[in-house]
Amino acid sequence: MSKTVGRVLAESLIAHGVDTIWMVPGESFLGLTDALTETPQVRLIVCRHEGGAGFMAVADGRMQGGRAGVLLVSRGPGLSNAMVALHTAHHDATPLVVLCGQVERKDFGRLALQEQNYSKLLADVAKDVIEVNEVVQASESIARAFHLAESGTPGPVAVILPEDIFDELAEGPVAKPRPRVFGGARAEDLDQLADMLAKAERPLVWVGGALANAGAETLDELRQLAEQWVLPVSPTHRRPQLFDSDHPNYGGYMGIRVPKQLVEEMKRADLLLALGERITDSVSQSYSFPTAPDPQLPLVQVWPDANEIGRVFRPDLGMAAEPAAVIRALLRRGAPPDAQKRAGWVAGLHRIHRGLMEPTWDSMPDGVNFAAICVEVGKHLAADAVVTSDAGNFSSFIHRYIGFRPGQNFLSSVVGAMGAGVPMAVAAAIRRPGKQAVAFVGDGGALMTGNEIATAMQYGAAPVIILSDNKRYGTIGMHHEVRYPNRPYENAVRLTNPDFAAWARVFGAEGITISTEAEVEGAIARAFAVKDRPVVVHVHTSAEQMSAWRRRGAPRLHG
């Protein structure tokens, strides 16, 4: 029986398990939204800006175990506004399907209203751009988009839908989802890896993005592997939840700008196993550890996509495999009898980590040391909390003072795009009603996408938003001070901010202000006691304490 293309597309999305679409309405895809109004299985979340909607879709994909989130935007300005989310998904290896309207087919190439060549526009941030110009390929295109977005190295795929195609009639069945294809390590590679680990006296294991969507069973097997083989495990940049920071085999957080005493100890390693980690500049400390392209120590890299292994670093062993499968294979083999020889090495790394996490800080004359906030928030986090973070130096306090553990989820733009914190927390609160969603955001990022508090109000979501206000783009100020010492820079980073607590109340949210450290304990407790609406905690933060590791005009703490 014939159906409109709009209806076929709606049924195709349902066939792929889509239950939520994040969107800003547009006239270029009215035929699709009309069809979706007849499909109660799919809810449309109407957002306030395509950048915010895009970050919500990225977060939604991560919360669904690696299934692609779905973003629906209009042509031209709509997709252009969403580009920050596509860039994030591309760099962060996050699956995302973007449905985008287009001008009518008869007007292609005429520079019709809001027309763009999306194959050119998205060439560097999308795995593929699929233009649906033939009715017969509409459902097939949806199946292809999800397959590409979720396979190999995950990433964004755009499906371009001309405005005039939705009301045409289509025949034929809805295309079924493609089966997931997983790479596997060869037996000889597993033999070599086991031999390298057995011989190593000071091995390091970094766990990253390809494990970010791992379930509880896989993360428990990772713990067993660490204990059985006596290995230190370090989560990489923006993936702190992959290993319990209190576990004695936790080897320290391998994020951006690792404290000197920890990274210097790590450099004593005689083997590095990058398990599900691409090893970006943020993780490798600007390609200094390991050095690019030739590492200064033996390197084993495990990643699901063979094209990614060896792209920057020359590994001694590369394995195009799912990290979870490698973990299980090593567990089945069992550790060598002398694995305990590494106990001192593991304990030393953990001891440094524990010292860096000591909940001590200095009071500052110009505002609240954000360390006090993070320590207090950490006391209130539920075992299944979702924590999101925007980009900014305030996030260094999160990773220094909050110990994460499996069962919690940490969502952010790994590539460092500002604006992710609030919409990701809103998405988490909508996806998981009644569960804890906590956002950390700076005063810069808050006014980029903070308007999505309105979306939270519309859908009954209640995230807690911790807002660090030091009245400047603080990270940029720090970089300026380091690169051009003793030079003025305030006029290049200074911000004039509103009363963010009052701003929150205008949306209908709760607004709480913290101006001194004496107010921290009570104010944070009040924030977490609110369950029926969003909360914004406006913290007047010290600008002198530039990060968890550096003060203005002083050497970087710990090196």
User: How much is the pLDDT for 61?
Assistant: 93
Within a domain: residue 281?
yes
Within a domain: residue 178?
no
Backbone angles phi, psi at 105, to 5 degrees: -60, -35
**Same domain, yes or no, for 148 and 214?**
no
- In sequence order, the β-bridge partners of residue 102 are 162
C-alpha separations of 233 from 47, 121, 236, 283, 347 in Å: 39, 40, 10, 14, 11
Token pair of 88 as six digits = 């994030």
**Same domain, yes or no, for 250 and 102?**
no
Within a domain: residue 249?
yes
User: How much is the pLDDT for 559?
Assistant: 37
Within a domain: residue 200?
yes
Check whether the bond before 293 is cis (ω within 30° of 0): yes
**Same domain, yes or no, for 139 and 224?**
no
**Same domain, yes or no, for 138 and 250?**
no
Total count of domains within the chain:
3
Within a domain: residue 175?
no
Residue 511 CB neighbours (<10 A): 20
Within a domain: residue 411?
yes
**Same domain, yes or no, for 389 and 445?**
yes
**Same domain, yes or no, for 102 and 161?**
yes
Across the beta sheet with 464-469, the strand order is: 409-412, 386-389, 437-442, 464-469, 535-540, 510-514
User: How much is the pLDDT for 113?
Assistant: 87
Distance of alpha carbon 385 from alpha carbon 191, whole angstroms: 39
Residue 400 CB neighbours (<10 A): 24
Within a domain: residue 386?
yes
User: How much is the pLDDT for 555?
Assistant: 57
**Same domain, yes or no, for 159 and 229?**
no
Residue 263 makes CB contacts below 8 A (sequence gap 6+) with 285, 289
261 CB-contact burial (10 Å; exposed 0-12 / middle 13-18 / buried 19+): middle
Looking only at the bridges linking them, the beta strands covering 3-4 and 169-170 are: antiparallel
Q: At 160, is the secondary structure helix, strand, or coil?
A: strand
Q: Going residue by residue through the chain (559 aa), what tens digit of pLDDT does each one get?
A: 579 999 999 999 999 999 999 999 999 999 999 999 989 999 999 999 999 999 999 999 999 988 999 999 999 999 999 999 999 999 999 999 999 999 999 999 898 888 889 999 999 999 999 999 999 999 999 999 999 999 999 999 999 999 999 999 998 899 999 988 888 889 999 999 999 999 999 999 999 999 988 889 999 999 999 999 999 999 999 999 999 999 999 999 999 889 999 999 999 999 999 999 999 999 999 999 999 999 999 999 999 999 999 999 999 999 999 999 999 999 999 999 999 999 999 999 999 999 999 999 999 999 999 999 999 999 999 999 999 999 999 999 999 999 999 999 999 999 999 999 999 999 999 999 999 999 999 999 999 999 999 999 999 999 999 999 999 998 999 889 889 988 988 899 999 999 999 999 999 999 999 999 999 999 999 999 999 999 999 999 999 999 999 998 765 544 3
Which of 323, 354, 385 terminates a domain? The answer is: 354
C-alpha separations of 344 from 43, 230, 253 in Å: 53, 10, 19
Could you tell me the CATH number of the domain that includes residue 17? Answer: 3.40.50.970
Looking at residue 4, its amino acid is T
Which residues constitute the domain of residue 208? 187-354
Within a domain: residue 359?
no
Looking only at the bridges linking them, the beta strands covering 535-540 and 510-514 are: parallel
pTM tops 0.85: yes
**Same domain, yes or no, for 206 and 307?**
yes
**Same domain, yes or no, for 165 and 209?**
no
Distance of alpha carbon 363 from alpha carbon 371, whole angstroms: 10
Which of 319, 354, 389 terminates a domain? The answer is: 354
Ramachandran region of residue 478, left (φ > 0), alpha (ψ -120 to 50) or beta?
alpha
Which of 170, 200, 231 terminates a domain? The answer is: 170
Question: Cβ distance 73 to 24 under 8 Å?
Answer: yes
Distance of alpha carbon 31 from alpha carbon 160, whole angstroms: 14
**Same domain, yes or no, for 199 and 143?**
no
**Same domain, yes or no, for 341 and 419?**
no
**Same domain, yes or no, for 345 and 392?**
no
